[in-house]
Structure 1
Amino acid sequence: MSKEPIARKTRNKLEVLLLFRRASYPARRVEVLDISETGFLIDSAVDFSIGERVWLQLPGLQSLSAKVVRVDGFKVGCAFDHPLHEAVLRAKLDELAG
């Protein structure tokens, strides 16, 4: 039984500071470089581990839980536990573009 590869969602360039939290740490602002329905990429000088639990706060939404799936130097890729609906993401991107 073969599995089809999961299609990657379009990444939207963002480059905005948003609240972000790691387990057992207070929330702080990080630069979010891009975001899609399934995840986001941040720029951080802090060390992260693959599988680490994190939360991202988009304005007007509750914190979105995610897991670190990639670490490449200062860039940290995270996958949301529950994908965002396309319309919700679009509305938040429009709001952030202001």
Structure 2
Amino acid sequence: MTISSPERYEIAAQEDRSAPRTKLAIPAQMRVSGGRRFQTVVHDLSLSGFSATSINRMEPGSMCWMTLPGLESLAAEVIWWEGNLVGCAFQTLLNPIVHDNILARYRGDGAAR
């Protein structure tokens, strides 16, 4: 039995959700589909997603794009929004090398190393 690419992503994303997310404080920008870009702070990051500050309500199921310093925009789906925090799942798993570079670059206070 062959597993299609979207199914592979869903399986990997669910497995990754059980792994601890790395707590960070990275200044970034987000844009919701049809909306304007706004400043945010990414609070945690994994290969499959992130949580970030959002003062405006973001509806689960909507698409957004998150831009970390030095990277292109990453497409994600809003999974939850609560108390000015949003949790999103990347459309495509974050490359492990990119993930590790982000972790190596930022400390918990958002300062680049």
Shorter-chain TM-score bucket reads 0.7 to 0.9
Q: TM-score, normalised by structure 2?
A: 0.75
Match of 1:67 in 2: 77
Q: Is the 8 A contact 2:66 2:75 kept in 1?
A: yes
Residue 31 of structure 1: how far off its partner (Å): 1.4
Alignment size in residue pairs? 95
Residue 61 of structure 1: how far off its partner (Å): 2.0
Q: How does 1:11-50 map to 2 (within 5 A)?
A: 11-50=21-60
Match of 1:91 in 2: 101
Greater helix content: 2
Match of 1:54 in 2: 64
Cα deviation 1:4-27 (Å, max 9, x = unaligned): 792124311112220111122222
Residue 96 of structure 1: how far off its partner (Å): 2.9
Q: Is the 8 A contact 2:26 2:68 kept in 1?
A: no
Q: Please give the root-mean-square deviation of Cα atoms over the aligned residues, in Å.
A: 1.8
Q: State the identity %.
A: 32
Q: TM-score, normalised by structure 1?
A: 0.85
Residue 59 of structure 1: how far off its partner (Å): 2.3
Which runs of 5 or more residues in structure 1 are unaligned? none
